[in-house]
A and B are shown apart, each in its own frame.
Chain A
């Protein structure tokens, strides 16, 4: 059942019960009051009848008449002297009804019998043919005989009034409830509308449109809920975006990997196939063989780096205190021959310091960066390799290693992508230099393990500067 119907029904039940109770009590009280007035009137009437009858009986006794014989006349006399129209009375003398204005009936008898038993002034109300009558009794003694006067007043008015009030109240109650239901329906509709919107949006999100948001702008709990819901949806869509990004990245990795592996494979298979199909002249044989060899080496290099990459992703590496000078001398040993072959000038300036990390991996990082610098540089270019302590107090970094070249540089877009696997800013040139596009992603991964930051500043045709910043807390 919908929430607004629940609200409607509970409200209706509560309202009708409370209104009904109030109405009942009001009408009942009114009726009681009216009845009391009627009763007291009837009692007064009865008193009047009693005193008049007693007076006349006294007169009759004085005239020494038979009381019994005189009573019908007395009754008629008193009756004619009374102005109240809806009052009749009966007189019993002893156990005989001596005066009656209407027929004796069972109720009268009952009242008289009750009077005989306790002897007090009594009253009782009876319904007769749709009318309500109040019987009031009064008793006196005439000699040894009991004189009993019973007056009967019509109190139907009080009852009729009550019935009218009840009918009227029912009508009012009905109209009130109708109007009330309408209002409650509208109000609950208004109140639950944000909830319905919430519901709709939740469904939409379930169906996959993660960008949907709610536009509820109230300050109450629903508004708060909407706000929280939006925040949750935001978090979910962010997470999903992240996951999708990861999946995309992985797919891209696989696609790139197969692509990268296809080129050397094609060459190796193709040359081998050519060699086994026909007899080639000596120099062509050598060409084919050297391609098979170099492409095979390329595959080997790729798989090696890829292995490092995968291994590093899944393993923690051992770290220890490392002297920067030792790292740099190791690096220089590796890169000097290739630098010399291209006639490059390497300006090295390393401030001694102790870093916390893995020496071999740091060497790998620097060799990669220097290799890239070498590939980017023209012959006889200059490459600066420096390391310095960072002195400023507020700087979160402790030591900075940097490699700067004055070579071809990269565009902003290329700079952002260099750490992607297999990305090569200039593919054909990178291949000529023997690159596979894995070096920088390896660098990024190693630096991540060291919690160090890689900052790349590059401008096309001006050169590139790569800075590695080591954090204070790590060292």
Chain B
């Protein structure tokens, strides 16, 4: 399980990040000031740190100095969006720099990228007898490779990573096609149907009426 440390003094935002990270299948620990984060880092291991800059007691840049030798990737998350701050953030050794207000989907995507860069992402996700290798873009079912289009692959990956959660159509559509979802569009439904057919997921890949889709683990 990948462990992510969230250092953010705003309770509301901290909760928001935790909620989403947990839904995406990460383990998440939240602290609300810099000192506590440093203390925690001494005793526990993390795969990634999401770090606010303006923190009580010890600010994000100062904390970064402390984290750097540990080799843990850091994503800055801050309201400071001047060029100077961005430069300082990135030159201090952080992997990424995100400015508030941010979109949750974007945060998740960046977390994903950073983890992949550090090879901390489980490259292979399995669901029943289906195995998805995100690095090599290969899907096998019962050991046999299944041909998927890139969009179908992406769709499958999202569904597998969010198993047992109902994903709304809008969210899936926006994440894969990157444009605003329109109700008339049948593209998504079409792709779902093809996935069901290719991977024989008729029972597991459920349509949630008027909402979206859910990949359900029967066990």
The stretch of A259-267, A325-333, A377-385 in contact with B is A259-267
A274 touches B20 (CB 8 A): yes
Cα separation A459 to B56 with both chains bound (whole Å): 20
Chain A proximity mask over B100-117: 1 for CB below 8 Å, otherwise 0? 111111000000000000
The stretch of A29-37, A61-69, A427-435 in contact with B is A427-435
Q: Is A273 an interface residue (CB 8 A)?
A: yes
List 3 A-B pairs, minimum CB-CB distance, nearest first.
A277-B171, A279-B166, A266-B101
**Nearest chain-A residue to B57 (Cβ)?**
A428
Q: Is B140 an interface residue (CB 8 A)?
A: no
B103 touches A273 (CB 8 A): yes
Q: Is B32 an interface residue (CB 8 A)?
A: yes
- Which residues of chain A have a CB within 8 Å of any CB of chain B? 258-259, 262-267, 269-271, 273-274, 276-280, 284, 287-288, 291, 294-295, 426-428, 431-432
Contacting residues, chain A, for B15 (C-beta < 8 A): 287, 291
Cα separation A431 to B56 with both chains bound (whole Å): 12
Contacting residues, chain B, for A263 (C-beta < 8 A): 10, 12-13, 79, 100
Contacting residues, chain A, for B203 (C-beta < 8 A): none
Contacting residues, chain A, for B105 (C-beta < 8 A): 273, 277
Cα separation A287 to B79 with both chains bound (whole Å): 23
Q: How far is the CB of B5 from chain A (nearest CB, A)?
A: 17
Q: How far is the CB of B24 from chain A (nearest CB, A)?
A: 10
Interface residue from B13, B79, B170, B171 paired with A259 (Cβ < 8 Å): B79
- Beyond contacts A265-B100, A267-B13: 6 other A-B pairs, Cβ-Cβ < 8 A, are A266-B100, A270-B102, A270-B103, A278-B166, A280-B19, A432-B11
Give 28 pairs: A residue, B residue, CB < 8 Å, sorted on A: A259-B79, A259-B80, A262-B79, A265-B100, A266-B13, A266-B16, A266-B102, A267-B10, A270-B16, A270-B102, A270-B103, A273-B103, A274-B20, A274-B104, A276-B171, A277-B168, A278-B167, A278-B171, A279-B165, A279-B208, A279-B212, A279-B214, A284-B19, A288-B16, A291-B12, A291-B15, A291-B16, A428-B32
Cα separation A270 to B101 with both chains bound (whole Å): 8
Contacting residues, chain B, for A427 (C-beta < 8 A): 9, 54, 56
Interface of A is mostly: helix
**B residues 114-170 in Cβ contact with A at 8 Å:** 162, 165-168, 170
**Nearest chain-A residue to B23 (Cβ)?**
A278
B16 touches A274 (CB 8 A): yes
Q: How many residues of B contact A (CB 8 A)?
A: 33
Q: How far is the CB of A284 from chain B (nearest CB, A)?
A: 6
B19 touches A288 (CB 8 A): yes
Cα separation A428 to B10 with both chains bound (whole Å): 7
Contacting residues, chain A, for B171 (C-beta < 8 A): 276-278
Contacting residues, chain B, for A267 (C-beta < 8 A): 10, 12-13, 16
Given contacts A262-B100, A278-B171, A288-B19, contact A428 B165 (CB under 8 A): no
- Which residues of chain B have a CB within 8 Å of any CB of chain A? 9-13, 15-16, 19-20, 23, 32-33, 54, 56, 79-80, 100-105, 162, 165-168, 170-171, 208, 211-212, 214
**Nearest chain-A residue to B162 (Cβ)?**
A278
Cα separation A271 to B104 with both chains bound (whole Å): 9
Q: How far is the CB of B163 from chain A (nearest CB, A)?
A: 12
A-B contacts at CB below 8 angstroms, number? 88
Q: How far is the CB of A296 from chain B (nearest CB, A)?
A: 11
Q: How far is the CB of B54 from chain A (nearest CB, A)?
A: 7
Contacting residues, chain B, for A426 (C-beta < 8 A): 56
Q: How far is the CB of B68 from chain A (nearest CB, A)?
A: 25
**Nearest chain-A residue to B56 (Cβ)?**
A428
Cα separation A285 to B73 with both chains bound (whole Å): 31
Contacting residues, chain B, for A279 (C-beta < 8 A): 165-166, 168, 208, 211-212, 214
B101 touches A431 (CB 8 A): no
Q: How far is the CB of B80 from chain A (nearest CB, A)?
A: 8
Contacting residues, chain B, for A295 (C-beta < 8 A): 12
Interface residue from A258, A273, A284, A431 paired with B10 (Cβ < 8 Å): A431
Q: How far is the CB of A282 from chain B (nearest CB, A)?
A: 13
Contacting residues, chain A, for B12 (C-beta < 8 A): 263-264, 267, 271, 291, 294-295
**Nearest chain-A residue to B11 (Cβ)?**
A432
Q: How far is the CB of A268 from chain B (nearest CB, A)?
A: 9
Contacting residues, chain B, for A284 (C-beta < 8 A): 19
Contacting residues, chain B, for A262 (C-beta < 8 A): 79, 100-101
Contacting residues, chain A, for B13 (C-beta < 8 A): 263, 266-267, 270
Contacting residues, chain A, for B162 (C-beta < 8 A): 278
Cα separation A428 to B36 with both chains bound (whole Å): 14
**Nearest chain-B residue to A270 (Cβ)?**
B16
Contacting residues, chain A, for B208 (C-beta < 8 A): 279
Contacting residues, chain B, for A264 (C-beta < 8 A): 12
Which residue of B12, B20, B79, B100 has the most chain A CB atoms within 10 A of its CB atom? Answer: B12
A273 touches B56 (CB 8 A): no
Cα separation A263 to B79 with both chains bound (whole Å): 8
Contacting residues, chain B, for A276 (C-beta < 8 A): 168, 170-171
Contacting residues, chain A, for B19 (C-beta < 8 A): 274, 280, 284, 287-288
Contacting residues, chain B, for A274 (C-beta < 8 A): 16, 19-20, 23, 104
